[in-house]
Structure 1
Amino acid sequence: MLLRKIVTAAVLATAATLLVPATAAVAAPARADAAPATTSAATTPVIVVGGLSGVAIAYEPLAARLRADGYRVFIYQLPGLGLGDIPASARAFAGYVDQVRAATGAARVDLVGHSEGGLVSRYYLKRLGGTGVVGRYVSLGSPQYGTYVANILKFLGLGSCAGVVACQQMSIGSAFLADLNAGDDTPGAVRYTTVRTIQDELVRPVDNALLHDGSTNVLIQSSCPLRVVGHLGLVLDGTTYTVIRGALTDAPVRPNCYAL
Protein backbone atom coordinates (compact mmCIF):
# COMPACT_ATOMS: atom_id res chain seq x y z
CA MET A 1 0.00 0.00 0.00
CA LEU A 2 2.83 2.37 0.88
CA LEU A 3 4.62 1.56 -2.37
CA ARG A 4 1.47 2.32 -4.34
CA LYS A 5 1.15 5.71 -2.64
CA ILE A 6 4.76 6.55 -3.41
CA VAL A 7 4.40 5.57 -7.09
CA THR A 8 1.13 7.51 -7.35
CA ALA A 9 2.73 10.64 -5.93
CA ALA A 10 5.67 10.34 -8.30
CA VAL A 11 3.43 9.94 -11.34
CA LEU A 12 1.29 12.91 -10.35
CA ALA A 13 4.37 15.07 -9.87
CA THR A 14 5.69 14.02 -13.28
CA ALA A 15 2.33 14.63 -14.93
CA ALA A 16 2.11 18.06 -13.34
CA THR A 17 5.48 18.97 -14.80
CA LEU A 18 4.38 17.81 -18.25
CA LEU A 19 1.22 19.88 -18.03
CA VAL A 20 2.65 23.34 -17.34
CA PRO A 21 2.16 25.71 -20.32
CA ALA A 22 2.86 29.39 -20.96
CA THR A 23 -0.22 31.36 -19.95
CA ALA A 24 1.09 34.89 -19.52
CA ALA A 25 2.35 34.90 -23.08
CA VAL A 26 -0.80 36.45 -24.52
CA ALA A 27 0.76 39.82 -23.78
CA ALA A 28 4.15 38.79 -25.17
CA PRO A 29 4.01 40.54 -28.56
CA ALA A 30 4.45 43.90 -26.85
CA ARG A 31 7.54 42.65 -25.01
CA ALA A 32 9.28 40.52 -27.64
CA ASP A 33 12.98 40.94 -28.17
CA ALA A 34 14.08 42.21 -31.56
CA ALA A 35 17.76 41.34 -31.85
CA PRO A 36 19.40 42.03 -35.23
CA ALA A 37 18.88 39.12 -37.60
CA THR A 38 22.09 37.24 -38.33
CA THR A 39 20.64 34.97 -41.03
CA SER A 40 17.91 35.30 -43.60
CA ALA A 41 15.83 32.78 -41.66
CA ALA A 42 16.18 34.89 -38.51
CA THR A 43 13.92 37.55 -40.03
CA THR A 44 11.01 35.20 -39.27
CA PRO A 45 9.75 35.48 -35.67
CA VAL A 46 9.97 32.30 -33.60
CA ILE A 47 7.21 31.36 -31.16
CA VAL A 48 8.25 28.91 -28.45
CA VAL A 49 5.12 27.05 -27.35
CA GLY A 50 5.23 25.73 -23.80
CA GLY A 51 4.05 22.35 -22.66
CA LEU A 52 1.73 21.05 -20.00
CA SER A 53 2.52 22.90 -16.78
CA GLY A 54 5.28 24.73 -18.66
CA VAL A 55 5.40 28.26 -17.26
CA ALA A 56 6.90 30.82 -19.62
CA ILE A 57 10.05 31.44 -17.59
CA ALA A 58 11.05 27.78 -18.00
CA TYR A 59 11.61 28.48 -21.71
CA GLU A 60 13.78 31.55 -21.24
CA PRO A 61 17.06 29.59 -21.63
CA LEU A 62 15.91 28.37 -25.05
CA ALA A 63 14.66 31.83 -25.96
CA ALA A 64 18.03 33.31 -24.94
CA ARG A 65 19.88 30.96 -27.29
CA LEU A 66 17.57 31.95 -30.13
CA ARG A 67 17.99 35.67 -29.38
CA ALA A 68 21.76 35.24 -29.41
CA ASP A 69 21.40 33.85 -32.93
CA GLY A 70 19.43 36.91 -34.00
CA TYR A 71 15.83 35.73 -33.74
CA ARG A 72 12.82 37.69 -32.55
CA VAL A 73 11.43 35.33 -29.95
CA PHE A 74 8.02 35.03 -28.30
CA ILE A 75 7.09 32.54 -25.59
CA TYR A 76 3.53 31.27 -25.51
CA GLN A 77 2.28 29.80 -22.25
CA LEU A 78 -0.72 27.58 -22.81
CA PRO A 79 -4.03 28.80 -21.31
CA GLY A 80 -4.69 27.33 -17.88
CA LEU A 81 -1.23 25.75 -17.94
CA GLY A 82 -2.43 23.41 -20.66
CA LEU A 83 -4.66 21.35 -18.41
CA GLY A 84 -7.75 21.89 -20.54
CA ASP A 85 -8.94 20.92 -24.01
CA ILE A 86 -6.10 20.93 -26.56
CA PRO A 87 -8.22 22.17 -29.50
CA ALA A 88 -9.40 25.06 -27.32
CA SER A 89 -5.77 25.89 -26.52
CA ALA A 90 -5.01 25.76 -30.25
CA ARG A 91 -7.78 28.23 -31.02
CA ALA A 92 -6.37 30.62 -28.42
CA PHE A 93 -2.93 30.09 -29.93
CA ALA A 94 -4.25 30.99 -33.39
CA GLY A 95 -5.21 34.41 -32.03
CA TYR A 96 -1.77 34.77 -30.48
CA VAL A 97 -0.05 34.03 -33.79
CA ASP A 98 -2.13 36.80 -35.37
CA GLN A 99 -0.98 39.17 -32.61
CA VAL A 100 2.67 38.34 -33.22
CA ARG A 101 2.34 38.85 -36.96
CA ALA A 102 0.58 42.16 -36.44
CA ALA A 103 3.20 43.34 -33.94
CA THR A 104 6.15 42.38 -36.13
CA GLY A 105 4.74 42.87 -39.61
CA ALA A 106 5.91 39.35 -40.47
CA ALA A 107 3.98 37.31 -43.01
CA ARG A 108 5.08 34.05 -41.41
CA VAL A 109 6.28 32.69 -38.10
CA ASP A 110 8.23 29.60 -37.07
CA LEU A 111 7.08 27.37 -34.21
CA VAL A 112 9.08 25.43 -31.62
CA GLY A 113 6.70 23.41 -29.45
CA HIS A 114 7.70 21.46 -26.36
CA SER A 115 5.63 18.46 -25.24
CA GLU A 116 1.92 19.39 -25.38
CA GLY A 117 2.96 22.61 -27.12
CA GLY A 118 3.87 20.55 -30.17
CA LEU A 119 0.36 19.07 -30.28
CA VAL A 120 -1.29 22.48 -29.85
CA SER A 121 0.86 23.82 -32.68
CA ARG A 122 0.14 20.87 -34.95
CA TYR A 123 -3.59 21.10 -34.35
CA TYR A 124 -3.35 24.77 -35.32
CA LEU A 125 -1.57 23.80 -38.52
CA LYS A 126 -3.76 20.88 -39.47
CA ARG A 127 -7.23 21.93 -38.32
CA LEU A 128 -7.18 25.74 -38.04
CA GLY A 129 -5.49 26.79 -41.28
CA GLY A 130 -2.12 27.65 -39.75
CA THR A 131 -0.10 26.22 -42.63
CA GLY A 132 -0.56 29.46 -44.56
CA VAL A 133 1.36 31.54 -42.01
CA VAL A 134 3.92 29.07 -40.61
CA GLY A 135 7.21 28.29 -42.31
CA ARG A 136 8.83 25.80 -39.95
CA TYR A 137 7.53 23.54 -37.18
CA VAL A 138 9.83 21.91 -34.63
CA SER A 139 8.50 19.68 -31.86
CA LEU A 140 10.51 18.66 -28.80
CA GLY A 141 9.33 15.50 -27.10
CA SER A 142 5.71 15.92 -28.19
CA PRO A 143 3.54 12.78 -27.80
CA GLN A 144 2.32 12.95 -31.41
CA TYR A 145 0.83 9.46 -31.10
CA GLY A 146 0.22 9.52 -27.36
CA THR A 147 2.07 8.27 -24.31
CA TYR A 148 1.53 5.42 -21.89
CA VAL A 149 2.41 7.81 -19.06
CA ALA A 150 -1.00 9.40 -19.59
CA ASN A 151 -2.65 5.96 -19.46
CA ILE A 152 -0.91 4.83 -16.28
CA LEU A 153 -2.95 6.99 -13.93
CA LYS A 154 -5.98 4.86 -14.70
CA PHE A 155 -3.93 1.77 -13.94
CA LEU A 156 -3.11 3.26 -10.53
CA GLY A 157 -6.79 3.66 -9.75
CA LEU A 158 -6.91 7.44 -10.24
CA GLY A 159 -9.49 7.39 -13.00
CA SER A 160 -8.89 8.74 -16.47
CA CYS A 161 -5.87 11.03 -15.98
CA ALA A 162 -7.30 12.21 -12.64
CA GLY A 163 -9.78 14.27 -14.66
CA VAL A 164 -7.16 16.34 -16.53
CA VAL A 165 -8.58 16.81 -20.03
CA ALA A 166 -5.29 17.39 -21.85
CA CYS A 167 -3.82 14.29 -20.24
CA GLN A 168 -6.80 12.25 -21.40
CA GLN A 169 -6.29 13.57 -24.92
CA MET A 170 -2.60 12.60 -24.85
CA SER A 171 -3.43 9.02 -23.88
CA ILE A 172 -2.67 6.44 -26.54
CA GLY A 173 -5.85 5.70 -28.49
CA SER A 174 -7.68 8.91 -27.54
CA ALA A 175 -10.32 10.34 -29.86
CA PHE A 176 -8.33 13.57 -30.05
CA LEU A 177 -5.21 11.82 -31.36
CA ALA A 178 -7.24 9.67 -33.74
CA ASP A 179 -8.59 12.86 -35.31
CA LEU A 180 -5.27 14.72 -35.31
CA ASN A 181 -3.41 11.80 -36.90
CA ALA A 182 -6.00 11.00 -39.55
CA GLY A 183 -4.60 11.65 -42.99
CA ASP A 184 -1.39 13.56 -43.69
CA ASP A 185 0.86 14.14 -40.66
CA THR A 186 2.60 17.08 -42.34
CA PRO A 187 0.12 19.19 -44.31
CA GLY A 188 1.03 22.29 -46.28
CA ALA A 189 4.43 23.65 -47.30
CA VAL A 190 5.65 23.79 -43.69
CA ARG A 191 9.03 22.19 -42.92
CA TYR A 192 8.38 19.70 -40.10
CA THR A 193 11.07 18.51 -37.69
CA THR A 194 10.63 16.37 -34.57
CA VAL A 195 13.21 15.80 -31.85
CA ARG A 196 13.05 12.91 -29.41
CA THR A 197 15.31 11.26 -26.85
CA ILE A 198 15.65 7.70 -25.57
CA GLN A 199 15.66 8.98 -21.99
CA ASP A 200 12.30 10.75 -22.30
CA GLU A 201 10.53 9.71 -19.12
CA LEU A 202 7.17 11.17 -20.16
CA VAL A 203 6.76 10.11 -23.79
CA ARG A 204 6.70 6.32 -23.91
CA PRO A 205 7.31 4.73 -26.30
CA VAL A 206 9.69 7.44 -27.46
CA ASP A 207 8.98 6.77 -31.15
CA ASN A 208 5.47 8.13 -30.57
CA ALA A 209 7.14 11.54 -30.71
CA LEU A 210 7.90 11.31 -34.44
CA LEU A 211 5.78 12.19 -37.47
CA HIS A 212 5.34 10.51 -40.84
CA ASP A 213 4.82 11.87 -44.36
CA GLY A 214 8.07 13.72 -44.91
CA SER A 215 8.99 15.01 -41.47
CA THR A 216 12.63 15.15 -40.45
CA ASN A 217 12.70 13.01 -37.30
CA VAL A 218 15.75 13.29 -35.08
CA LEU A 219 16.59 10.86 -32.29
CA ILE A 220 19.38 12.55 -30.32
CA GLN A 221 21.09 9.27 -29.44
CA SER A 222 21.26 8.14 -33.08
CA SER A 223 24.03 10.68 -33.58
CA CYS A 224 25.15 11.06 -29.98
CA PRO A 225 24.70 7.69 -28.24
CA LEU A 226 26.23 8.87 -24.96
CA ARG A 227 24.12 12.03 -24.71
CA VAL A 228 21.68 11.92 -21.80
CA VAL A 229 18.63 14.15 -22.34
CA GLY A 230 15.35 13.88 -20.45
CA HIS A 231 11.95 15.27 -21.37
CA LEU A 232 12.51 18.69 -19.82
CA GLY A 233 16.16 18.58 -20.84
CA LEU A 234 15.16 18.94 -24.50
CA VAL A 235 14.53 22.62 -23.76
CA LEU A 236 17.96 23.14 -22.16
CA ASP A 237 20.27 20.75 -23.97
CA GLY A 238 22.95 22.16 -26.26
CA THR A 239 22.90 19.25 -28.71
CA THR A 240 19.14 19.59 -29.06
CA TYR A 241 19.57 23.29 -29.74
CA THR A 242 21.90 22.56 -32.65
CA VAL A 243 19.07 20.53 -34.17
CA ILE A 244 16.58 23.35 -33.61
CA ARG A 245 18.94 25.89 -35.15
CA GLY A 246 19.51 23.70 -38.19
CA ALA A 247 15.79 23.21 -38.68
CA LEU A 248 15.09 26.94 -38.44
CA THR A 249 17.73 27.77 -41.03
CA ASP A 250 16.76 24.97 -43.45
CA ALA A 251 20.25 23.56 -43.02
CA PRO A 252 21.04 19.84 -42.91
CA VAL A 253 20.31 18.61 -39.41
CA ARG A 254 23.62 17.54 -37.86
CA PRO A 255 23.49 17.29 -34.05
CA ASN A 256 26.62 18.58 -32.35
CA CYS A 257 27.29 16.00 -29.65
CA TYR A 258 29.65 18.30 -27.74
CA ALA A 259 27.46 21.41 -27.62
CA LEU A 260 26.79 22.78 -24.14
Structure 2
Amino acid sequence: MLLRKTVLVVSLATAALLVSAGGATAAPATPASAAPAAGAPDAASPLTTAAAATANPVIVVGGLSGVAVAYEPIAARLRADGYRTFIYQLPGLGLGDIPASARAFANYVAQVRASTGAATVDLVAHSEGGLVSRYYLKRLGGTASVGRYVSLGTPQYGTYVANIVAFLGLGSCAGIVACQQMTIGSAFLADLNAGDDTPGSVRYTTVRTLQDELVRPTGNAAVNDGATNVLIQAYCPLRVVGHLGLVLDGTAYTIVRGALVDGPVRPNCLAV
Protein backbone atom coordinates (compact mmCIF):
# COMPACT_ATOMS: atom_id res chain seq x y z
CA MET A 1 0.00 0.00 0.00
CA LEU A 2 2.82 2.42 0.89
CA LEU A 3 4.57 1.64 -2.41
CA ARG A 4 1.35 2.15 -4.35
CA LYS A 5 0.75 5.49 -2.62
CA THR A 6 4.30 6.59 -3.35
CA VAL A 7 3.94 5.69 -7.02
CA LEU A 8 0.68 7.64 -7.16
CA VAL A 9 2.25 10.76 -5.73
CA VAL A 10 5.27 10.58 -8.03
CA SER A 11 3.09 9.91 -11.05
CA LEU A 12 0.84 12.85 -10.25
CA ALA A 13 3.80 15.11 -9.76
CA THR A 14 5.40 13.98 -13.00
CA ALA A 15 2.42 13.74 -15.34
CA ALA A 16 -0.31 15.99 -13.97
CA LEU A 17 1.62 18.89 -12.50
CA LEU A 18 4.42 21.20 -13.54
CA VAL A 19 7.15 18.79 -14.53
CA SER A 20 10.67 20.13 -14.30
CA ALA A 21 14.00 19.52 -12.59
CA GLY A 22 14.37 18.63 -8.93
CA GLY A 23 16.76 17.28 -6.36
CA ALA A 24 20.07 18.20 -4.85
CA THR A 25 21.41 21.61 -3.88
CA ALA A 26 25.13 20.95 -3.72
CA ALA A 27 27.55 23.86 -3.71
CA PRO A 28 28.20 24.92 -7.30
CA ALA A 29 31.47 24.62 -9.11
CA THR A 30 32.37 27.21 -11.73
CA PRO A 31 31.36 25.61 -15.05
CA ALA A 32 33.43 25.59 -18.19
CA SER A 33 31.83 27.88 -20.74
CA ALA A 34 32.02 27.18 -24.43
CA ALA A 35 33.67 29.97 -26.38
CA PRO A 36 31.42 32.01 -28.67
CA ALA A 37 31.64 31.32 -32.38
CA ALA A 38 34.35 33.21 -34.22
CA GLY A 39 33.47 36.45 -35.94
CA ALA A 40 31.12 39.27 -35.09
CA PRO A 41 28.22 38.33 -32.77
CA ASP A 42 24.85 37.90 -34.45
CA ALA A 43 21.37 36.86 -33.31
CA ALA A 44 22.74 33.44 -32.40
CA SER A 45 25.72 34.74 -30.40
CA PRO A 46 24.88 38.04 -28.70
CA LEU A 47 27.99 38.26 -26.53
CA THR A 48 31.48 39.22 -27.57
CA THR A 49 34.30 37.43 -25.75
CA ALA A 50 34.87 40.49 -23.57
CA ALA A 51 31.18 40.82 -22.76
CA ALA A 52 30.93 37.13 -21.89
CA ALA A 53 33.66 37.53 -19.31
CA THR A 54 31.73 40.23 -17.46
CA ALA A 55 28.14 39.01 -17.99
CA ASN A 56 26.18 37.87 -14.98
CA PRO A 57 26.29 34.13 -14.30
CA VAL A 58 22.97 32.51 -15.23
CA ILE A 59 21.15 30.11 -12.93
CA VAL A 60 18.62 27.86 -14.66
CA VAL A 61 16.02 27.13 -11.98
CA GLY A 62 14.13 23.89 -12.37
CA GLY A 63 10.59 23.17 -11.29
CA LEU A 64 8.52 20.35 -9.86
CA SER A 65 9.49 16.69 -10.16
CA GLY A 66 12.17 15.70 -12.61
CA VAL A 67 15.89 15.43 -13.14
CA ALA A 68 18.52 18.06 -13.83
CA VAL A 69 19.35 16.57 -17.21
CA ALA A 70 16.05 18.00 -18.49
CA TYR A 71 17.65 21.45 -18.30
CA GLU A 72 20.93 20.59 -19.97
CA PRO A 73 19.66 21.61 -23.45
CA ILE A 74 18.96 25.20 -22.43
CA ALA A 75 22.07 25.28 -20.23
CA ALA A 76 24.14 24.14 -23.21
CA ARG A 77 22.71 26.95 -25.36
CA LEU A 78 23.59 29.48 -22.68
CA ARG A 79 27.12 28.14 -22.33
CA ALA A 80 27.57 28.22 -26.09
CA ASP A 81 26.58 31.88 -25.99
CA GLY A 82 29.31 32.52 -23.45
CA TYR A 83 27.42 32.48 -20.15
CA ARG A 84 28.68 30.90 -16.97
CA THR A 85 25.69 28.66 -16.38
CA PHE A 86 24.41 26.68 -13.39
CA ILE A 87 21.39 24.42 -12.95
CA TYR A 88 19.52 24.58 -9.65
CA GLN A 89 17.53 21.53 -8.67
CA LEU A 90 14.70 22.14 -6.23
CA PRO A 91 15.15 20.32 -2.91
CA GLY A 92 12.89 17.33 -2.33
CA LEU A 93 12.00 17.23 -6.04
CA GLY A 94 10.09 20.46 -5.50
CA LEU A 95 7.19 18.64 -3.85
CA GLY A 96 7.44 20.53 -0.58
CA ASP A 97 6.80 24.05 0.63
CA ILE A 98 7.75 26.69 -1.96
CA PRO A 99 8.98 29.28 0.59
CA ALA A 100 11.25 26.59 2.07
CA SER A 101 12.61 25.87 -1.41
CA ALA A 102 13.16 29.61 -1.85
CA ARG A 103 15.20 29.80 1.35
CA ALA A 104 17.41 26.98 0.09
CA PHE A 105 17.67 28.77 -3.24
CA ALA A 106 18.84 31.94 -1.50
CA ASN A 107 21.80 29.99 -0.13
CA TYR A 108 22.54 28.61 -3.59
CA VAL A 109 22.58 32.08 -5.14
CA ALA A 110 25.04 33.17 -2.47
CA GLN A 111 27.24 30.18 -3.31
CA VAL A 112 27.21 31.00 -7.02
CA ARG A 113 28.10 34.61 -6.33
CA ALA A 114 30.93 33.55 -4.04
CA SER A 115 32.33 30.99 -6.48
CA THR A 116 32.22 33.35 -9.47
CA GLY A 117 32.92 36.65 -7.76
CA ALA A 118 29.81 38.11 -9.40
CA ALA A 119 27.83 40.81 -7.63
CA THR A 120 24.59 39.73 -9.32
CA VAL A 121 23.24 36.74 -11.20
CA ASP A 122 20.49 36.32 -13.79
CA LEU A 123 17.71 33.74 -13.37
CA VAL A 124 16.04 31.64 -16.06
CA ALA A 125 13.31 29.77 -14.23
CA HIS A 126 10.96 27.10 -15.53
CA SER A 127 7.55 26.29 -14.11
CA GLU A 128 7.53 26.11 -10.28
CA GLY A 129 11.09 27.42 -10.35
CA GLY A 130 9.69 30.80 -11.33
CA LEU A 131 7.60 30.90 -8.15
CA VAL A 132 10.56 29.86 -6.02
CA SER A 133 12.62 32.61 -7.64
CA ARG A 134 9.91 35.27 -7.27
CA TYR A 135 9.45 34.42 -3.59
CA TYR A 136 13.20 34.77 -3.12
CA LEU A 137 13.12 38.16 -4.84
CA LYS A 138 10.02 39.49 -3.13
CA ARG A 139 10.14 38.03 0.37
CA LEU A 140 13.79 37.14 1.01
CA GLY A 141 15.61 40.26 -0.19
CA GLY A 142 16.92 38.66 -3.37
CA THR A 143 16.54 41.75 -5.55
CA ALA A 144 19.98 43.00 -4.52
CA SER A 145 21.58 39.85 -5.91
CA VAL A 146 19.68 39.47 -9.20
CA GLY A 147 19.86 41.51 -12.39
CA ARG A 148 17.32 39.74 -14.59
CA TYR A 149 14.47 37.31 -14.01
CA VAL A 150 13.09 35.26 -16.91
CA SER A 151 10.30 32.77 -16.28
CA LEU A 152 9.19 30.02 -18.67
CA GLY A 153 5.68 28.65 -18.20
CA THR A 154 5.43 29.61 -14.52
CA PRO A 155 1.93 29.54 -12.99
CA GLN A 156 2.39 33.01 -11.52
CA TYR A 157 -1.30 33.23 -10.66
CA GLY A 158 -1.92 29.50 -10.32
CA THR A 159 -3.18 26.77 -12.62
CA TYR A 160 -6.44 24.90 -12.93
CA VAL A 161 -4.40 21.73 -13.40
CA ALA A 162 -3.60 21.79 -9.69
CA ASN A 163 -7.26 22.48 -8.84
CA ILE A 164 -8.34 19.55 -11.04
CA VAL A 165 -6.35 17.10 -8.93
CA ALA A 166 -8.69 17.83 -6.04
CA PHE A 167 -11.70 17.75 -8.38
CA LEU A 168 -10.79 14.21 -9.43
CA GLY A 169 -11.24 13.06 -5.87
CA LEU A 170 -7.56 12.76 -5.01
CA GLY A 171 -7.86 15.10 -2.06
CA SER A 172 -5.98 18.34 -1.76
CA CYS A 173 -3.38 17.68 -4.47
CA ALA A 174 -2.80 14.17 -3.11
CA GLY A 175 -0.95 15.80 -0.22
CA ILE A 176 1.68 17.50 -2.41
CA VAL A 177 2.31 20.85 -0.74
CA ALA A 178 3.71 22.61 -3.81
CA CYS A 179 0.65 21.56 -5.81
CA GLN A 180 -1.63 22.96 -3.12
CA GLN A 181 0.28 26.23 -3.26
CA MET A 182 -0.06 26.41 -7.06
CA THR A 183 -3.84 26.08 -7.05
CA ILE A 184 -5.66 29.20 -8.18
CA GLY A 185 -6.66 31.20 -5.12
CA SER A 186 -4.19 29.56 -2.72
CA ALA A 187 -3.00 31.48 0.33
CA PHE A 188 0.58 31.22 -0.96
CA LEU A 189 -0.26 32.89 -4.28
CA ALA A 190 -2.41 35.52 -2.59
CA ASP A 191 0.60 36.51 -0.50
CA LEU A 192 3.11 36.33 -3.35
CA ASN A 193 0.95 38.43 -5.66
CA ALA A 194 -0.07 41.04 -3.07
CA GLY A 195 1.35 44.42 -3.97
CA ASP A 196 4.12 44.84 -6.51
CA ASP A 197 4.72 41.85 -8.80
CA THR A 198 8.13 43.16 -9.85
CA PRO A 199 10.01 44.57 -6.86
CA GLY A 200 13.48 46.09 -7.00
CA SER A 201 15.52 47.05 -10.04
CA VAL A 202 15.39 43.53 -11.48
CA ARG A 203 14.31 43.32 -15.14
CA TYR A 204 11.39 40.88 -15.28
CA THR A 205 10.41 38.87 -18.36
CA THR A 206 7.84 36.09 -18.60
CA VAL A 207 7.47 33.70 -21.52
CA ARG A 208 4.34 31.66 -22.15
CA THR A 209 2.78 29.52 -24.85
CA LEU A 210 -0.80 28.84 -25.88
CA GLN A 211 -0.07 25.10 -25.98
CA ASP A 212 1.03 24.91 -22.34
CA GLU A 213 -0.85 21.86 -21.12
CA LEU A 214 0.03 22.40 -17.48
CA VAL A 215 -0.51 26.13 -16.95
CA ARG A 216 -4.19 26.93 -17.48
CA PRO A 217 -5.29 29.54 -18.22
CA THR A 218 -2.06 30.36 -20.00
CA GLY A 219 -2.47 34.05 -19.16
CA ASN A 220 -1.69 33.14 -15.56
CA ALA A 221 1.95 32.77 -16.59
CA ALA A 222 2.26 36.56 -16.89
CA VAL A 223 2.88 39.13 -14.15
CA ASN A 224 1.95 42.79 -13.72
CA ASP A 225 3.72 46.01 -12.79
CA GLY A 226 6.09 46.59 -15.67
CA ALA A 227 7.23 43.10 -16.61
CA THR A 228 7.81 42.19 -20.24
CA ASN A 229 5.26 39.42 -20.84
CA VAL A 230 5.86 37.50 -24.05
CA LEU A 231 3.34 35.14 -25.65
CA ILE A 232 5.26 33.12 -28.25
CA GLN A 233 2.29 32.80 -30.62
CA ALA A 234 1.74 36.58 -30.65
CA TYR A 235 4.93 36.73 -32.73
CA CYS A 236 5.01 33.23 -34.21
CA PRO A 237 1.38 32.07 -34.68
CA LEU A 238 2.34 28.70 -36.16
CA ARG A 239 4.89 27.80 -33.49
CA VAL A 240 3.76 24.87 -31.34
CA VAL A 241 5.47 24.77 -27.94
CA GLY A 242 4.34 22.74 -24.93
CA HIS A 243 5.18 23.18 -21.27
CA LEU A 244 8.41 21.18 -21.31
CA GLY A 245 9.13 22.49 -24.80
CA LEU A 246 9.80 25.92 -23.32
CA VAL A 247 13.25 24.72 -22.21
CA LEU A 248 13.93 22.94 -25.50
CA ASP A 249 12.44 25.20 -28.18
CA GLY A 250 14.71 27.40 -30.27
CA THR A 251 12.21 30.25 -30.58
CA ALA A 252 11.68 30.33 -26.82
CA TYR A 253 15.43 30.46 -26.37
CA THR A 254 15.78 33.49 -28.64
CA ILE A 255 13.39 35.31 -26.29
CA VAL A 256 15.45 34.26 -23.27
CA ARG A 257 18.66 35.33 -24.98
CA GLY A 258 17.24 38.74 -25.84
CA ALA A 259 16.04 39.27 -22.28
CA LEU A 260 19.51 38.52 -20.91
CA VAL A 261 21.01 41.36 -22.95
CA ASP A 262 18.10 43.76 -22.32
CA GLY A 263 17.22 43.63 -25.99
CA PRO A 264 13.85 44.15 -27.70
CA VAL A 265 11.44 41.24 -28.04
CA ARG A 266 12.33 39.77 -31.43
CA PRO A 267 11.69 36.01 -31.41
CA ASN A 268 13.19 34.01 -34.25
CA CYS A 269 10.19 32.00 -35.40
CA LEU A 270 12.39 29.62 -37.43
CA ALA A 271 14.97 28.88 -34.72
CA VAL A 272 15.65 25.22 -33.98
State if a TM-score over 0.5 links the two structures: yes
Look up the match of 2:32: 33
Match for residue 194 of structure 2?
A: 182
In the superposition, the TM-score normalised over structure 1's length comes to 0.92
**Aligned equivalents of 2:14 and 2:83: distance in 1?**
34
Give 1:113 deviation, angstroms.
0.4
> Identical aligned pairs, as a percentage?
77
Show structure 1 runs of 5+ residues with no match. 1-8
Contact 1:24 1:56 in 2 (8 A): no
Q: What's the counterpart of residue 95 of structure 1?
A: 107
| 2:20–2:126 contact (8 Å) kept in structure 1 | no
**3-state SS of the aligned residue for 2:169?**
coil
- Answer whether contact 2:156 2:222 (CA < 8 A) is retained: yes
Once the 2 structures are TM-superposed, how far is the Cα of residue 23 of structure 1 from its aligned partner? Answer: 2.0
**Cα distance per residue 1:172-217 (max 9 Å; x no partner):** 0000000000000000000000000000000000000001000000
Letter paired with 1:213: D
C-alpha distance in 2 between matches for 1:24 and 1:10: 20
Do the aligned partners of residues 10 and 72 (structure 1) sit closer, same or farther apart at CA in structure 2, a change above 3 Å counting? closer
Does the CA contact (< 8 Å) of 2:21 and 2:71 recur in 1?
no
Displacement of 1:36 in angstroms is 5.0
Residues 1:109 and 1:10: Cα distance change in structure 2 (over 3 Å): closer
Q: How does 1:97-246 map to 2 (within 5 A)?
A: 97-246=109-258
Aligned partner letter, 2:29: A
Structure 1 counterpart of 2:24, one-letter code: A
Amino acid at match of 2:80: A
1:6 alignment partner in structure 2? none
Q: Are the structure 2 counterparts of residues 233 and 144 from structure 1 closer, same or farther at C-alpha, using a change threshold of 3 Å?
A: same
Q: 2:42 matched to which residue of 1?
A: none
Letter in 1 for 2:113: R
Cα displacement string for residues 34-67 of structure 1 (whole angstroms, at most 9, x for unaligned residues): 4457343662100000010132110000000000
Counterpart Cα distance in 1 of 2:171 and 2:107? 33
CA distance in 2, matches of 1:25, 1:255: 33
Q: Secondary structure at the match of 2:161?
A: helix
Unaligned runs of 5+ in 2: 1-9, 37-46
Q: How many residues align?
A: 251
Q: Using the alignment, how far apart are the partners of 2:91 and 2:19 within structure 1?
A: 11
Structure-2-length-normalised TM-score: 0.88
Q: Which runs of 4+ in 1 moved over 4 A?
A: 9-13
How much has 1:24 moved relative to structure 2? 2.8
**Paired residue for 1:3?**
none
